[in-house]
Structure 1
Amino acid sequence: MDLPVLPPLDPMLAKAVAEIPAGMHYEAKWDGFRALVFRDGDEVEVASRTGKSLARYFPELLDAFRAELPGRCVLDGEIVLAHDGRLHFEELQERIHPAASRVRRLAAENPASFIAFDLLALGDASLLARPLAERRTALVAALAGAGPWVHTAPATRDRELARQWFTEFEGAGLDGIMAKPLDDPYRPGVRSMFKIKHGRTADCVVAGYRLHKDGQGVGSLLLGLHDAAGALQHVGVCASFTAARRRELAAELAPLVLADPAGHPWAAWTDGAAHEAGRMPGAPSRWSGGKDAQWVALRPERVCEVAYDHMEGTRFRHTTRFRRWRPDRSARSCDYSQLEEPVGFDLAQLLAEGVSPDR
């Protein structure tokens, strides 16, 4: 591979802010796998944010890149999996699998797409030092004939339209809004962009916890919400406590610890067959590797308020943030009905042919 920009390359990053800043370039924040794509003729490499190759997990995209990209280029963007009008991150995660036969089957059943939002090199020219405004113009021109699997990220310089997108696009599974300074060069590894994510709170039942990896106090709280049938469903975790707070939490929760978890709503997590029916707090996964997933069962009586960005199906998409205890709430009152439902938005409308990339 002989390109003016070569791997390994750290992608430019973003810092979180509460409000959409003025006077910038705005795009949707895509909920997928960040990827840098390097194409030199038939040679294609796809690098993750950490520098690992994603090429073997998305064979259909390698074909798409050869068919739809300029012959020699480097792109920054997001691998997404979309169907039924929205993004599906959990299905995207299933691609990271050691069995090539499974990857090929999933690729054929539900092909991934690539959303390009920056152009880092074209032909023999590196664009890293060029301002974003110039790189964006070059990106739109370079991908003018792309499709159906490679798309240019829709963008705007209209702050009011960005605010509208922030509300509308969540219904299609998007994660918020990105704001990028128009005069900035591409800065590998530097947090010079801004991300504005959806922020909400929910009252959840604390039904257990995992010990911290150092064995000192609570590592993460296991959160539950009641479904329509009254069953307590495991919806995610709350973590990132200081060392002192971890010890305090262990002492606060000690009176609720169940010596025998047989009657606990999640007691079946020790049964391998139960994991086939639904995800339990002790379930192993390809992401946890050899980590100890054992947990301490609590009487599901205590309620805490957590901050979260959005849901992925029936679970919190990311680790939540502890806000406060809610002694005024009963555990039984904590159900899915309290969660705000985003307004539906058809992703196909956003990526439809004929939508102007800049508005």
Structure 2
Amino acid sequence: MLAVPVDAVPDGPSLIHEPKWDGWRAIVFREHDGVYVQSRAGRNLTTYFPDITRVVRAALPPGVVLDGELIVWDRGRTNFAQLQRRVSAGRGLLRLTRECPAHYVLFDLLADADGQVVLDLPLSERRARLERLLAGAPAPLTLTPRTTDMRQVADWLVQWTVAAGIEGVVSKRRDGRYEPGRRGWWKYRTHITTEAIVGGVTGSIHDPDSALLARFDRHGHLRYTGRTHPLTDAQRTELAEMLSPVRPPRRGAVAHPWPEPLPASWSGQLERPEPLPYVQVDPTVVVEIDADVAFEHQRWRHRVRYARARPDVAVHDVPLLLGEEEGYFGEQ
């Protein structure tokens, strides 16, 4: 079952709210002869999570089908990059699972013991059954918190997004059925308004399609931090008027530090990422952006929204690279 994006957390007596975890959505099947882990897109993730399959097999009876989020904790915060590492770890996977074990945060039950399908039961009943199944389960199998208190929701959005790494809130009807493929839930992503430096553009310098963003790290190196959504016509015109080509480096100066094209590994995409052709620009233009709080490798994982140019802000007044300033985003 899926969720439709909303601009505000819905409120009402029939709704329940849960944190939106920053991980991989996964359906887990406890089969009679083992465990199968499937991504939201239908991909087989079983081999990447031997730590999770082991605890599911030991703790739950055959026939159970679960819905939840695979996450990895790192110093008290979710670390999406550690999930990505599992795909490419190869022979180092077992060592990685010991050093950075995964947790499966559960929020729904699709089939009970012996394969009894419970999709048509109300969410409140599915949750009660899930709680009974997980009574005494080991720590890697965790029930997600839930609340009807909007004050608790506000606390999650203010405190947990930075401290714990949640992306926002998912709201559901307490009497709702589980309808695979239907967007019957609501998801609200936490957003921040902040600044970044334009280090390159797709398209051309005179008619940019999107902006490639940068920030300085604490050593003064210009680091790639993400990409904007496609620009509107007005935004293209505004930005083009401010951009300048990269200047030839003076003797002893450092050339533009990014490779061309932008490496596929920088995109944050799991499925078939490709190198990104782009045009380097003189990194002197600061723009205001609207971003969510999901990041990995010190980059925004999702595209951000361009708000406006900030000619009144100097590049060295822009917050430091993600994770290198208090509150992760320089906003706290």
- TM-score over 0.5 for the pair: yes
Match of 1:336 among 286, 310, 320: 320
Q: Does the CA-based 8 Å contact 2:26-2:39 persist in structure 1?
A: yes
Which residue of the partner structure matches residue 177 of structure 1?
169
TM-score, normalised via structure 2 length: 0.84
- Checking the alignment, whether the CA contact within 8 Å between 1:219 and 1:246 is kept in structure 2 is no
**CA offsets 1:154-179 (integer angstroms, 9 cap, x no match):** 22222222222222322111122211
Read off the aligned partner of 1:114 and give its amino acid letter.
Y
Residue from 237, 241, 263 that aligns with 2:227: 237
Shift of 1:299: 1.0
Name the structure 1 match of 2:147.
156
Provide the rounded CA distance (Å) in 1 between the counterparts of 2:239 and 2:311: 18
- Determine if the alignment matches structure 1 residue 326 to structure 2 residue 310: yes
Give the Å deviation of 1:62: 1.2
Q: Which residue of structure 2 lines up, in the alignment, with residue 284 of structure 1?
A: 264
Aligned-residue offset at 1:76: 0.5
Task: Supply the AA of the counterpart residue of 1:300.
Answer: P
The equivalent residue for 2:82 is 91
Q: Could you tell me which residue of structure 2 aligns to residue 186 of structure 1?
A: 178
1:149 deviation in Å?
1.4
Shift in Å, 1:229: 4.1
CA distance in 2, matches of 1:240, 1:178: 27
- Aligned in 2, Cα 1:111/1:204: closer, same or farther, shift over 3 Å? same
Q: Percent same amino acid among aligned pairs?
A: 33
Alignment of 1:1-359 (within 5 A): 11-23=1-13, 24-97=15-88, 100-122=90-112, 123-170=114-161, 171-211=163-203, 218-241=208-231, 244=233, 248=237, 251-252=240-241, 256-258=244-246, 260=248, 267-270=256-259, 282-285=262-265, 287=270, 289=272, 291-310=274-293, 312=295, 314-336=298-320, 341=327
CA deviation after TM superposition for structure 1 residue 46, in Å: 0.9
Deviation at 1:72, TM superposition (A): 1.5
Shift of 1:84: 2.0
Distance 1:329 1:251, change over 3 A: closer
CA distance in 2, matches of 1:327, 1:82: 39
With over 3 angstroms needed to count, the CA separation of the structure-2 counterparts of 1:113 and 1:131, relative to structure 1, is: same
Gaps of 5+ in 1: 1-10, 271-279, 344-359
Sort the Cα spacing of 1:311 and 1:143 in 2 relative to 1 into closer, same or farther, 3 A. closer
Aligned-pair distance for 1:258? 2.7
Distance change (3 Å), C-alpha of 1:34 and 1:337: closer
Contact 2:3 2:187 in 1 (8 A): no
Asked whether the 8 Å contact 2:263–2:274 carries over to 1, the reply is no
**TM-score using structure 1 length:** 0.78
Q: Equivalents in 2 of 1:303, 1:250: separation in Å?
A: 10
Distance change in 2, residues 1:227/1:193 (3 Å): same
Alpha carbons 1:235, 1:314 under 8 Å: kept: yes
The Cα of 1:95 is off from its aligned counterpart by 1.0
186-195 vs 244-253, which moves further? 244-253
| Residues 20 and 159, structure 1, Cα contact 8 Å, conserved in 2 | no
Shift of 1:204: 1.3
Give the Cα separation in 1 of the matches to 2:221 and 2:93: 34
Count of residues in correspondence between the two structures: 318
On the 8 A contact 2:84/2:270 being kept in 1, the answer is no
Deviation at 1:297, TM superposition (A): 0.9
Q: Which amino acid aligns with 2:319?
A: D
Q: Bigger shift: 20-29 or 70-79?
A: 20-29
Q: 1:300 to 1:14 in 2, by over 3 A?
A: same
Question: Structure 1, residues 320-357: CA drift from partner, whole Å, max 9, x if none?
Answer: 111111222222322339977279xxxxxxxxxxxxxx
Contact 1:177 1:195 in 2 (8 A): yes
